[in-house]
Amino acid sequence: MLSMLGVMMAIIVVTGVTNALHPPSNAETIDPTTLHLGGEFAESNLGTAREPDGSVTVRMIAEQYSFVPECAQVPANTSVKFRLTSPDVIHGFLLPATNVNTMVVPGFVAEVRTSFDRPGVYAMPCNEFCSYGHHGMWARVRVVPKNQFPDLSADERTNCAKQ
């Protein structure tokens, strides 16, 4: 019995460490009723922003029943930090085949860091049931080659939904 428990614990610890799987540790609060009025999650700040150290930060709002913006463009082989929050109910933020999987809880900022090895489009379904429109709540993350990213206009960087 004890050795089985030991083996299972070891599997959890080893896969957690080697695949960088860990529970989100960011406990940052925000007033969900005033997101649109100003501050970090005002409409003009949503999308992908370049940081001075070369990394990028993607800010999104998850609301019934869409993500804003609906598509985020990020460079490959670059540290990407996602910051999401919700003005209404709990949503989920998942990028299949990556380490990105977190709940988006109203009143809190969900923060996840990752990087993408190769260009491509990642589907981004809401993975927490958030009422009758849940199944239609999708967004995309478009990963472009690192050298092409600086050539994009600010609008393209911020939102690729129209492409």
- Separation in Å, CA 98 to CA 20, 55, 84, 95, 141: 10, 18, 17, 6, 12
Q: Which is nearer to ligand CUA, 76 or 112 (CB)?
A: 112
- Separation in Å, CA 13 to CA 6, 7, 125, 136: 11, 10, 28, 35
Instruction: Name the minimum Å distance from CB 65 to ligand CUA.
Output: 6
Q: Which of residues 5-64 bind ligand CUA (CB under 6 A)?
A: 62
CA 39/CA 31 separation, integer angstroms: 11
Instruction: Name the minimum Å distance from CB 90 to ligand CUA.
Output: 8
Instruction: Name the minimum Å distance from CB 3 to ligand CUA.
Output: 41
Take residue 92 and report the two structure tokens written for it.
Answer: 């989920």
Q: Which of 28, 75, 84, 32 is nearest to 56 (CA)?
A: 75
Told to check if 129 binds ligand CUA by CB under 6 A, we report: yes
Q: Which of residues 53-112 bind ligand CUA (CB under 6 A)?
A: 62, 91
CA 86/CA 109 separation, integer angstroms: 8
Q: Which is nearer to ligand CUA, 47 or 87 (CB)?
A: 87
Q: Which is nearer to ligand CUA, 20 or 129 (CB)?
A: 129
Instruction: Name the minimum Å distance from CB 131 to ligand CUA.
Output: 8
Take residue 64 and report the two structure tokens written for it.
Answer: 């019934």
Q: Which is nearer to ligand CUA, 81 or 134 (CB)?
A: 134
Residues that bind ligand CUA (CB under 6 A): 62, 91, 126, 128-130, 134, 137
